[in-house]
Amino acid sequence: MKHVSIPSGADLGALYRQVAGDYPKFFKMDVLSKLGFLLTEMLVADETDRFQPREDRAVLVFSREGCVANDRHYAASMADFPSPALFVYTLPNIVAGEIAIRNKYAGETSAYVLEKYDEEQLWALVREAFQDRCTQSAVVAWIDCPSDTVWQADAWLVSREEILK
């Protein structure tokens, strides 16, 4: 399976210009969605059928802190004028939707908040996602970002054969 990661504290704007550059909405995303977006770009950039609508690919995002970094920004904005743009990212599953929208994936999208990084639990949940007949591959990501500058960001592109072997 293909694996990519983004080092903690990396310049995400620079990375965006390097791996994408054609999706200005990126700059409106919270750090969780930015990382999910970039990880997926890195995973699927060389696919020949990129951007063809598909229902057979799932997006499964795991984290410990969810969207807490953005939640803090939103809470701070409430002291003055609550920001609608921050509010829309106060759910940890938005990242999965952002990835699906960008790539035209209409398969399962799920976001799990785990107590800690637990490899066994994570891959057991991934296997569950393949129990339907539709899912043939999945973008799986562990993105844990307690702040805008500190994170763990790893992603894998996995196939049904690799997961259910």
Partner 1 sequence: MNELINELKLKVIEALNLEGMTPEDIDENAPLFGDQGLGLDSIDVLELIVLLEKNYGIRLATPQEGKEVFKSMAVMAEYVAANRKK
Which residues make up the interface to partner 1 (CB under 8 A)? 13, 24, 26-28, 80-85, 88
Pairing of strands 137-144, 109-113: unpaired
Q: How far is the CB of 97 from partner 1 (least distance, A)?
A: 14
Q: What CA–CA distances, in Å, run from 133 to 23, 99, 130, 160?
A: 32, 22, 7, 10
| Amino acid (one-letter) located at 113 | V
User: Are 134 and 56 in contact, with CB atoms under 8 Å apart?
Assistant: yes
Least spacing, CB of residue 87 vs partner 1, in Å:
8
Q: Which is nearer to partner 1, 3 or 17 (CB)?
A: 17
- Minimum CB–partner distance for residue 161 and partner 1 (Å): 39
Closest CB to partner 1 among residues 93, 110:
93
Taking the complex as a whole, the smallest distance from the CB of residue 127 to partner 1 amounts, in Å, to 36
CB-nearer residue toward partner 1: 49 or 80: 80
CB of 129 to partner 1, least distance (A): 29
- Return the number of the residue (26 or 112) whose C-beta is nearest partner 1: 26
User: Burial letters for 2-30: b for 16+ Cβ neighbours within 10 Å, e otherwise?
Assistant: eebbbeeeeebeebbeeebeeeeebeebb
CB-hemisphere CA count at 13 Å for 28? 12
Question: With respect to partner 1, which residue has the nearer C-beta, 9 or 82?
Answer: 82
Q: SS3 of 155, please?
A: strand
